[in-house]
Amino acid sequence: MLERDARLFSGIPLRFPAPKNTTMSNNNAKADPTIFIIFGGTGDLNARKIAPALYNLFLDGWMPKQFSIIGTGRTKLTDEQFRDNLHKDINQFSRSGKADEKKWAEFSANIYYQVSDATNAETYKEFGKRIEQHNKEWKTTANVLFYLAVAPNFFPIIASNISKAKLAEDKNRVRIIIEKPFGHDLESAKDLNELLKGIFDECQIYRIDHYLGKETVQNIMAFRFANSIMEPLWNRNYIEHVQISVTEQLGVEERGDYYDGSGAMRDMIQNHLLQLLCHIAMEPPVSFNADEVRDRKVDVLRAMRRFTPEDVRNSAVRGQYGSGWMKGQEVPGYREEPKVDPQSNTETFAAIKFFIDNWRWQGVPFYLRTGKRMHQSSSVITIQFKDVPHLIFPTEAAESWQQNRLIISIQPEMSIRLQVQAKRPGIDMVLNAVDMVFDYKGTYTNQAPEAYETLILDTMLGDQTLFMRGDQVEAAWELVMPILNTWQNKKSLNFPNYSADSWGPESAEALIARDGFNWFTLPVNGKK
């Protein structure tokens, strides 16, 4: 914790890897010997995210000297076949590019595969034997991390079978990592929490939201709490409104069956966007302790105004994309996508106006927007400050007047921009908006780690700061359930209501325009 505290409050991005061509000894890593057991070892998530993250942690010296990665699934593979598959995946998806042969040989010697049926409790005894074997070989008691990179319906089954095999008894050494979605609604989230808490202590449960591992998201904490100039301005007296916008150009691709049972609200707002809102709105924690930080996030969610059916009608917009053209290619509408109901009522776009009823934020609207098949792929938080109380400049000087904005860009660029008014060069007093920019590429030569690298390292170190706690998950579900219930009980008659390569339905523009605002977009390559 001390290392993370120092890095955060010194204003340095958290855990940047060593510079290229610099070696770091594994002795620098503070994790104890660790055994990873990855359920869904042959799946897409392991191929694209988990395996590349583990390899990059190894390259940058964060892996413990003694570690083992055990992939498991129903597919019959040998250790060597599994290693070959991961080698190809890492070559394709790793931020560090193709694996160095010498480094790969060293890393892959710690990779194993075990054929198993996750639903059969008997197969879990083999995991116990492997754990005992490693502990005997290493002459220590290793940490054991069960990573559930599988469909949500397997979460309860796997957790129960881990318990039946008596593999969860060491509360200090055994941890379970669970991907979203954590529950389909409030009741299923509560049921899953109850089941997990009957097997594990809360300190053993790591609910992953990869957005919280992104460098820019982590830097929100540093920006807010390591700079004294921000705190006096960070409240209703100076901030007019906040926008959080996460848009994607992609459609549902091959996820039609999953997405049709989920939708934009469950897939993005209940977790990713509400977590970003908590980062912006939380009170200063007493320390950078995991539970202290998470307590402050729960406070935000509990202070957020609940929705009545009338509020849903006035403050929530849903949309579904139709056909159109993206990058010169014709793309189908959502209802024409594979594995999607032709009469689907599932929203692919959602825009919600939230309020936080506390002293800091009373009356400040928070606008959240997310959607698929949008004009631009971006994740941007915009904080607009109130206008100056008295404008001293003549009208012609302030022809292009713009209020101060703080723009935190998570993607496609990683940057923090403060937009201020400045005098344009020349004899006349003419004002225009200029950007004061901090961007990662221009400031740091080191390559930022992927979100999964940061989060997996934290699971090894036993740091839960960036992971959602059970009550946090339930509080988020409590907030969005009235909206979901209203939408589910009333079929939309105007779907599809926005075309591909647009900024969403017109009603979303009206939602924010009624308050005198508009959605902000960040220029990409000089183009809006």
Annotated catalytic, 272? yes
Residue ranges, comma separated, of all CATH 3.40.50.720 domains in the chain are 31-179
pLDDT for res 69: 96
Q: Where are the alpha helices (DSSP H) in 282-434?
A: 290-303, 309-315
pLDDT for res 13: 39
Q: Quick check: 180 and 209 in contact, CB under 8 A?
A: yes
| Distance (Å, whole) CA 364 – CA 357 | 9
Q: What secondary structure letter does DSSP report for 356?
A: B
Residue ranges, comma separated, of all CATH 3.30.360.10 domains in the chain are 212-385+471-513
CATH number assigned to the domain with residue range 31-179, chosen from the 4 options 3.40.50.720, 3.30.565.10, 3.40.30.10, 3.40.190.10 = 3.40.50.720
Tell me which residue of 33, 38, 62 sits closest to 137, measured CA to CA.
33
| Distance (Å, whole) CA 280 – CA 219 | 11
Q: How many CB atoms lie within 10 A of CB 224?
A: 15
Q: Which stretch of DSSP H or E encloses residue 66?
A: none
Q: Where are the alpha helices (DSSP H) in 97-183?
A: 101-108, 124-138, 155-164
pLDDT for res 19: 38
Q: Quick check: 339 and 260 in contact, CB under 8 A?
A: yes
Catalytic residue chosen out of the listed positions 87, 134, 241, 272? 272
Q: Quick check: 255 and 418 in contact, CB under 8 A?
A: no
Per-residue pLDDT of the chain (528 residues; tens, 9 = 90+): 444 444 443 333 344 343 333 333 334 446 899 999 999 999 999 999 999 999 999 999 999 999 999 999 999 999 999 999 999 999 999 999 999 999 999 999 999 999 999 999 888 999 999 999 999 999 999 999 999 999 899 999 999 999 999 999 899 999 999 998 899 999 999 999 999 999 999 999 999 998 889 888 888 999 999 999 999 999 999 999 999 999 999 999 888 888 999 999 999 999 999 999 999 999 999 998 999 999 999 999 999 999 999 999 999 999 999 999 998 899 999 999 999 999 999 999 999 999 999 999 999 999 999 999 999 999 999 999 999 888 888 777 777 788 999 999 998 888 999 989 888 888 888 888 888 888 877 777 777 788 999 999 999 999 999 999 999 999 999 999 999 999 999 999 999 999 999 999 999 999 999 999 999 987 655 444
- Classify domain 212-385+471-513 at the CATH class level: alpha beta
Place of tokens 């993206």: 326
Beta strands 67-73 and 111-115: pairing type? parallel
What global pTM score does this model have? 0.89
